[in-house]
Structure 1
Amino acid sequence: MIPLPLARIAEITSGALTGMADPRAVVRGPVVIDSRDVRPGALFVAIKGARVDGHDFAAQAVQAGAVAVLAARPVDAPAVIVGDTVRAMTELATAVCADLPATTVIGVTGSAGKTTTKDLLARLTARVGPTVAPVESFNNEIGHPLTVLKAGEETRYLVLELSARNVGHIAHLTRVAPPSIGVVLNVGTAHLGVFGSRETIARAKGELVEALPADGVAVLNADDPLVAGMAERTAARVTWFGRGESATVRAENVVVDERGRASFTLRTPSGAAPVTLRLYGEHAVENALAAAAAGYELGLPVAVIAEELSEAEPRSRWRMEVTDRPDGVTVINDAYNANPDSMRAAFAALDAFAGSRRRLAVIGALRELGEESDALNEELGRLAGSSGLAALLVVGGADAGPVLAGALAAAGRAADPVPADVLAGAQGAPDGAGGPPGDGAGGPPGTGAAYDTGAPGAAGGTYGALAGTATLVSHAADVTQAAAALSALLVPGDVVLLKGPRAAGLERVAEALLGGDGR
């Protein structure tokens, strides 16, 4: 960040220096919220969370080299005392960004694909000049200013990911770092329960293009009608990406290989070049096109854009991470987050990837879908149940019920109700009436059983367990049970997809299958 004396930080944040803080002491960065990340010259921002209070680590942060602590109450260390540390950090980021007139700010938003697009775009801008971009998905009221505060006088591009949990959130983030280029990927159903409708989601996402200046550029998805409609909401020039002929930057002749990776011809007004992605899933094409369109607006030659896109590897964790075990089992870890749109994309990727190999999936029920939650989760179950899976494990408590019901319906077992104790997350389930119970999630399905008892210790049990051709539909109360059940089901050569909302913690299933941190 820009070197700032504590006196200037106190002025920006309307704070007061305490604890023998030297007003002439200079913070040279980084600005951190975790005392373990402190480096000499840092500013430690103490945030009180639900379980941990950063103020308790103030002295430790200074001992590790922090110049001072940005705190909401007196601490046993040199500090700048403010009313609200998150708001003060935001004010500091706003001031720092305003002092970087040579830095071009690029914002990326959308219901799905923000992080992948941000990673690709940061790779492209790095070809032109020093670039700062967020780690993982630092895209909210805390992660956004933290990323901005990494920028310094040498930074030429600041590539930011902007998320919205309600109308007004993106507008707030754009005031911290006013963008010159705004990229809108899509309008889906993520957080539908919070927003109420896709139109309201579009209203929130469109705040990015509304913030653009007249000499800025809005990079919009020509294939998404709600995104295309945002062209009327900006004073900036509009450039289009997509697959249709109307797109300024588009993909032609898209082909997906046996590993689910797409190749295409990148077409721009100044020429074309071949792209062979190393990212998994055909949905990565749209992310690549969005990054390409923004890169094209920055003056990058199409050949350079194609080269960078073709060399890009996944950078952020738990997003279509593909790992092959020594026994030939392939684990697709896409467990970072999920919504109806990304679920469909993940199962499409699984279909392309698996080919004739046996496929399995572990999923969690979708959240924040409001009144549509049961219907959309049942639709998810139908999607999974009709995807040619050998086995489907649904993780969760009562929220797993609609997913299980949908999967059963897809398997032709609509007459078999999901037991009430499973919907309540209770332990165990009665044996099936159609025949002797099998080994449930811990082994092969029983013959003719309407549902089985499941593996020892498993919550719920196994449903729709038809011998031979039908999908084994199972329920597990948590990821520990899911990992144990899945491990027992896997045979060499299988492909397994892990996909669910972040709160489901399905990355821990990958850790159990792969060892270590799941990679």
Structure 2
Amino acid sequence: MIRLDEFLAATGGRVLGPARAQVFANFAYDSRIVVPGELFLAIVTETGDGHDYIAEACRAGATGIVCQWPQVEVPEGVTCIQVENTQQALSDYARYILAQRGIEVVGITGSVGKTSTKEAVAAVLAQARPAFRSQGSFNGRFGLPVALGRLEEGQDLAVLEMACDGLDEIRHLADITRPRVGVVTRVGHSHLHYFGTPDVIAREKGRLVEALPADGLAVLNYDDRRVRAMAGRTVARVVTYGLDPAADVWGDAVQVSLDGTTLDVHVGDETVRLRIALIGAQHAYTILAAVAVGRAYGLDWDSIARGLEAVRPMPGRTRLLRGAGGSYLLDDSYNAGPESALAALETLRTLPAGRRIVALGDMVQLGDYAEAGHRQVGRRIAEVADGLVTLGDLARIAADEALAAGMAADRVRVTYTAEDATRALESMLQTGDMILLKGSAEARLEYVTRELMAEPERAEELLPRQHRGWAQVRLMRPGRPTWVDIDLAAIAGNVRQMVRRVGPDVEVMA
């Protein structure tokens, strides 16, 4: 909930005309998905100007507008706030509201596992205090402040996910949120396109623990050497977690089933078996991180167990769905990198199934590691899967590697559209099969998942990227490899005809 007086105090904005609405349910950043009662942000970026969509946002029910230009016209009943820069105003509001309300922040970052860790930590801490959590993956320079629009009165603790696709973004997020606790999950190859090497990614992720105060807490994954080394970059107390007994909070006896993941957790002389309803051995780390934070806040084992039991599977993150014809879908279509793909393959190998089939989409933003990463995943697919369908040019590299590793050619299909991938999978499916669907957001594998679901009418509830805004997003490239012959002579002839038609007094610009 956003109060007008607090927003004005935070941003130095001014109201243009009558201040009709005084309280807003949330921030809105996309006019296509505005909910009545929200405050619409007319964000100006390199790719678009939100001022062009103010009228549409108002028609959808926005009761407030934040804009940069004073010439904006809004309907009666809508409060219009002018600021110098809408993006800066959003950061200023986030910094102000957290400080003004005295909210303690737990920040969570890493290449993989951020969202599940955020959900588990928040669920555990909610057993003791009114805890806010940033929704979904609202975690960047723009998304994290937007998430704080849902902050409610009485919540004195915020668990915030922090991501980056550029240098110093974590430093910026830490500056506006001032976390007291920082959790770092793992450093992987995601976003190498922006950072170049994993060491640079580690340097950026470590900005979170650098920002912690002396009375704060850094919770670090002991099993990742780059994360473990971050202990030397903070003045805060350090607690480590992992499967290595050298960690402060460590686990073993990990079991994965269709119902979730369990393991034994050891802290000092105490051992407790805990469960989370998230599928995959990687969620042993989710449990351990939540335990480390929960214990630091003084929660007992029963409270921690209740919090973990409250965590629900999330759309597109190793979520088990019923598929058509008695099959099962392990939907991991939210996003992908080599590390998360290998973890998903290990989950597929572990779960009971008639046959195991992989639908792999492109894994993007890997920079120079793209080919090696796809080949690594392709080799593992050949070891654990009975069939493979790839979608996209990069995923084809994995198909080639799977074939080179001995996978039979009649078990591999290469496709370039969601429709072709769906048809290929439908032709392979048998009762009892389990299909793992894994790819980056750009691959849009949720389209394939929806077509294979036993209950496609529940797609909006169960799958990622189902709102109207995402429905209108299209990739700016052909859906399959395309060759085009250009007849330059014909183009020249067309230009000559155009010149003759417009006459000698009109210049033609090409």
Q: Normalising by the residue count of structure 2, what TM-score does the alignment of the two structures yield?
A: 0.83
Structure 2 SS opposite 1:230: helix
Matched to 1:473, the amino acid is V
Give the corresponding residue for 2:414: 475
8 Å contact 1:266–1:306 — kept in the other structure? no
Give the corresponding residue for 1:441: none
The 5 A counterparts of 1:97-496 are 97-101=98-102, 103-257=103-257, 259=258, 261-269=260-268, 271-314=270-313, 316-325=314-323, 327-354=325-352, 357-387=354-384, 389-397=385-393, 399-411=394-406, 464-466=408-410, 472-496=411-435
d(CA) in 1 for partners of 2:255 and 2:396?
A: 37
Give the corresponding residue for 1:31: 27
The 5 A counterparts of 1:27-66 are 27-35=23-31, 36-40=33-37, 42-48=38-44, 53-62=49-58, 66=62
d(CA) in 1 for partners of 2:235 and 2:317?
A: 34
Structure 1 SS opposite 2:364: coil
Matched to 2:402, the amino acid is A
1:18-68 per-residue CA deviation (whole Å, 9 max, x = no partner) reads 2x143x86234422224443443x422123568875334434544666443
Give the corresponding residue for 2:470: none
Aligned residues: 452
* Structure 1 segments unaligned to the other structure (5+ residues): 413-463, 467-471
Q: Normalising by the residue count of structure 1, what TM-score does the alignment of the two structures yield?
A: 0.82
8 Å contact 2:114–2:185 — kept in the other structure? yes
8 Å contact 2:134–2:160 — kept in the other structure? yes
d(CA) in 2 for partners of 1:27 and 1:500?
A: 40
Q: CA deviation at 1:337?
A: 0.5
1:209-237 per-residue CA deviation (whole Å, 9 max, x = no partner) reads 01111111000111111111000100100
Give the corresponding residue for 1:453: none
1:94 counterpart = 2:95: yes
Are the structure 2 counterparts of residues 136 and 383 from structure 1 closer, same or farther at C-alpha, using a change threshold of 3 Å?
Answer: same
Are the structure 2 counterparts of residues 83 and 3 from structure 1 closer, same or farther at C-alpha, using a change threshold of 3 Å?
Answer: closer
Structure 2 SS opposite 1:163: coil
8 Å contact 1:363–1:498 — kept in the other structure? yes
8 Å contact 1:239–1:248 — kept in the other structure? yes
8 Å contact 1:363–1:500 — kept in the other structure? yes
d(CA) in 2 for partners of 1:177 and 1:149?
A: 14
Matched to 2:110, the amino acid is G
Q: CA deviation at 1:403?
A: 1.9
Matched to 2:450, the amino acid is E
d(CA) in 2 for partners of 1:183 and 1:396?
A: 34
Structure 2 SS opposite 1:386: helix
8 Å contact 1:2–1:153 — kept in the other structure? no
Q: CA deviation at 1:489?
A: 1.2
Task: Report the aligned-residue RMSD.
Answer: 2.2
Q: CA deviation at 1:197?
A: 1.1
d(CA) in 2 for partners of 1:330 and 1:50?
A: 42
8 Å contact 1:94–1:177 — kept in the other structure? yes
Q: CA deviation at 1:10?
A: 4.1
Q: CA deviation at 1:262?
A: 2.7
1:348-389 per-residue CA deviation (whole Å, 9 max, x = no partner) reads 00000135x2111110122112122222222222221222x2
Are the structure 2 counterparts of residues 297 and 317 from structure 1 closer, same or farther at C-alpha, using a change threshold of 3 Å?
Answer: same
Q: CA deviation at 1:325?
A: 3.6
Q: CA deviation at 1:163?
A: 0.4
More helix by share: 2
Are the structure 2 counterparts of residues 53 and 255 from structure 1 closer, same or farther at C-alpha, using a change threshold of 3 Å?
Answer: same
Moved more, 76-85 or 335-344: 76-85
Structure 2 SS opposite 1:289: helix
Structure 1 SS opposite 2:457: coil
Structure 2 SS opposite 1:255: strand
1:134-190 per-residue CA deviation (whole Å, 9 max, x = no partner) reads 221111122100122322441121110000112211111111211111000111111
Matched to 2:196, the amino acid is G
1:70 counterpart = 2:52: no
Are the structure 2 counterparts of residues 76 and 128 from structure 1 closer, same or farther at C-alpha, using a change threshold of 3 Å?
Answer: same
Are the structure 2 counterparts of residues 407 and 270 from structure 1 closer, same or farther at C-alpha, using a change threshold of 3 Å?
Answer: same
Are the structure 2 counterparts of residues 65 and 370 from structure 1 closer, same or farther at C-alpha, using a change threshold of 3 Å?
Answer: closer
* Structure 2 segments unaligned to the other structure (5+ residues): 463-510
Are the structure 2 counterparts of residues 339 and 181 from structure 1 closer, same or farther at C-alpha, using a change threshold of 3 Å?
Answer: same
Matched to 1:402, the amino acid is I
8 Å contact 1:30–1:39 — kept in the other structure? no
Q: CA deviation at 1:208?
A: 0.6
Give the corresponding residue for 2:83: 82
Structure 2 SS opposite 1:279: coil
